[in-house]
Structure 1
């Protein structure tokens, strides 16, 4: 009992203020990011279920590439947090420059993939000609927005490490505001422009991304912010030893994120076997789920920053106590969020006016399952995103995700869908199998303390 009191007492006073100051802007930023997909789904949802399904599948594909880019920036996030904890400002600058450079390289790969193979990507999840055609058009246009994702994520991780996430959140709000206005103009045809439907939504996504990045970088360079790196910082960062260390942290996490997000796309494809109705209901759930999880993502990301700062300062015992307390806090937060989601399901689903009564009824079942899933995801999310990766324990996270998702979760879901021909709600419930496995793996790993490592000693 005394140990529990000691652990809980480690998250009070200044630590709580820092947690809230970092977590809330990150949560808001994630809500804004998820709202892009939600705005597209809601506005296109007034046109028909084929458009909802198409943008849902395409958005899941772009989510895979976005997650890959976030994985690339994770190496920079880990290093920058520890540089900031060690009060090494030049290290913060160079780490941000290297993060931006490498993430832009990976963004180019995803742009080429979506431009050249958009129909093949869509065909993985559905055999509906209309869904493939609509989704392919959307993917080809939105592909270039990956450059904006790379540049925005690179700067966001640096700002988080400096406990200034509100800056990138503000400019994300500008981006989503632009997306809403441009969607309204281009999808339905206002101010004399033709109604462009799903193509208009794609163009709006690209233009809003450009607006966000131009305003963010313009602000940082005009203010001569610490993260406004120059050519000399890039040259200093492109050092074989630094690049190698960055990739040693980033590549396992990038591969981890790719494997995980690719698995989500496979889940989408399995649901597609149940028909357009199940796919449409799942497409509605995707942005709703992302928004619902945003606060927990904020806590987990803030935990990663604070744990990384403590590891950089070599405060190991305090790090462990705060890590345990933060995971407990995330679980309690998930219970509140799940309860609110279940209560608000009627106004949420009312926004999707094109859903048939049958699809609406299915979506209501999905929300009940999602509420359970939010609680199940809370501890693995806080453990993996907020604690283990902060200490550079990226290989364990990779191996656990492969085992939980690809060895157990996806096969179980496929068996439920293909062998037992279960209804869509049971297939959706089977998605949660992997979260149960992650609870079993994450608890002993955190308790082992093997993840607590200082990553920047060689620079000191």
Structure 2
């Protein structure tokens, strides 16, 4: 294992708690624009909500490079190959910059057509277009932040990215207050103000995170480094990232299909799903943090060829993830009525939502299986298997079972939740079998890159 890793004595807890706080802040503050705009105009909220759906797809596109970056860097550091780890860092920054610039320009040019394609009411298009063009036009800034954040996390500096997220979100909230409502004599800009605040806070964060990169890792990135890209590193990044992005896109589209089924049940069912999933996102926080922390550790161990330690590390993390997810689901189920009451006083929504949260006690352990083991498989270089199984399960189990139980047998949201449970547990059991088969031991990316 890398001497730097040993000297820093990174543990799962040391890596995980900053990731947990960072993810929680993303969930709490990620909808700051929407929440603050709700005090300004309902139409503005709808316009920004639709624009954010489009922007989320961009984040998925940027994220696939960041995923590959984490896996390759940790493997190289585990193998004590500092040179290739740095090269991968530079390649990932260059690749995501190019991809994000192309997508940013495309969003600005095609924003009107995209919004009309989504059948947005005519009166909402001006505000939605303004937000989409401003935030989408600078989406390359977010892509760079994600990439550099992945690099820092790979080196174990998870606290740095946590503090950056805290600062960026605070700046965004302050900017929203000033620019949306026109504080301190500044004109009230509404949606445009929310967009400007988002972009400015991200630009400031971008400068700070590049400073962190230089301070922590002594990186000095020159223009020639961004132009002359070692192709074997780019090939490995795409080899990890493209299947991962495909799985994410498959998940998002399958969820859109299930959402369409829920609209057939009724508006109340759609609202119940939104409120219940808001609670579920917080239940998932521990699993997300444990998964990301484990992925970093597994990458180091695989790079160092410490396969037995990697095998045991994944299973220990899995047991922790399952235990915590069950505990959180039970707590949320006990307090489901007051928690759902934060959003609504509708008794029917409270009743059905409470039942869904109860079913989540079964759902969340299955999700922990997937998050922890799939993250570990990817860290070991076993990329395609989880992707193929994921797509098969999403479209072969989740979507058809949601329709059959929810619509055909008229079980409503309960039927949909049973479909989610079947999907997560089916994938989870197969992933556990894959991990225990040790087939991932032959998939090490760092080794392939060195021998090419």
Distance 2:125 2:134 in 1: 14
Please say if 1:89 is aligned against 2:67.
Answer: no
2:372 paired residue number = 382
Q: Which moved more, 1:257-266 or 1:417-426?
A: 417-426
Q: Which residue is 1:234 aligned to? A: 226
Q: What whole-Å deviation, never above 9, does each CA across 1:88-125 have from its counterpart, x for those lacking one?
A: 22222211111112122332354355445557766787
C-alpha contact (below 8 Å) 2:152/2:213 kept by paired residues: no
Task: Tell which deviates more after alignment, 339-348 or 199-208.
Answer: 339-348
1:27: how far off?
1.6
C-alpha distance in structure 1 between counterparts of 2:55 and 2:120, whole Å: 19
1:311 aligns with 2:319: no
**Does residue 295 in structure 1 map to residue 286 in structure 2?**
yes
| Alignment counterpart, residue 190 of structure 1, candidates 180, 183, 188 | 183
Cα 1:284–1:63 shift into 2, 3 Å: farther
- Range moving further from structure 2, 73-82 or 101-110: 101-110
Q: TM-score, normalised by structure 2?
A: 0.84
What is aligned with 1:455? 445
| Distance change in 2, residues 1:363/1:198 (3 Å) | farther
Decide whether aligned partners of structure 1 residues 310 and 299 sit closer, same or farther in structure 2, where only a CA change above 3 A counts. same
Structure 1 residue 248, shift from structure 2 partner = 1.7
Give the superposition deviation at 1:205.
2.5
Q: Determine which of 35, 52, 56 is the counterpart of 2:28.
A: 35
User: How far off its partner does 1:281 sit?
Assistant: 4.3
Determine the C-alpha separation between the residues in 1 that align with 2:367 and 2:436.
19
Gap runs ≥5 in structure 1: 1-12
Change (3 A) 1:310 1:219: closer
* 1:325 aligns to 2:313 (yes or no): no
Q: What is the CA–CA distance in structure 1 between the aligned matches of 2:259 and 2:43, rounded to whole Å?
A: 15
TM superposition shift of 1:253: 1.7
| Map 1:339-354 → 2, pairs under 5 A | 339-343=330-334, 345=336, 348-349=339-340, 352=343
CA distance in 2, matches of 1:44, 1:63: 19
Q: Does 1:408 align with 2:397?
A: yes
| Residue 442 (str. 1) matches residue 434 (str. 2) | no
**Pair 1:351–1:378, CA change in 2 (3 A):** same
SS at match of 1:393: coil
Q: Deviations over 1:404-444 (max 9, x none)?
A: 11222122224445545654554455444421221232121
Per the alignment, in what secondary structure is the counterpart of residue 191 of structure 1?
A: helix
- Aligned equivalents of 2:134 and 2:244: distance in 1? 27
Match of 2:217 among 225, 230, 239: 225
Match of 1:69 in 2: 62
RMSD: 3.5
Q: How many Å separate the matches in 2 of 1:22 and 1:162?
A: 10
- Partner residue of 1:8? none
CA shift for structure 1 position 190: 2.4
Q: Report the equivalent of 1:10.
A: none
Between 132-141 and 298-307, the greater mean CA deviation after superposition:
132-141
* Residues 437 and 50 of structure 1, relative CA distance in 2, 3 Å threshold: farther
User: Structure 1 CA distance, aligned partners of 2:134 and 2:128?
Assistant: 10
Aligned positions, number: 444
Question: In 2, distance between residues paired with 1:191 and 1:346?
Answer: 40
Q: 1:344 to 1:388 in 2, by over 3 A?
A: same
**TM-score normalised by structure 1 residue count:** 0.83
Equivalent-residue separation in structure 2 for 1:362 and 1:122 (angstroms): 33
Contact kept, 8 Å, 1:68 with 1:255, in 2: the verdict is: no
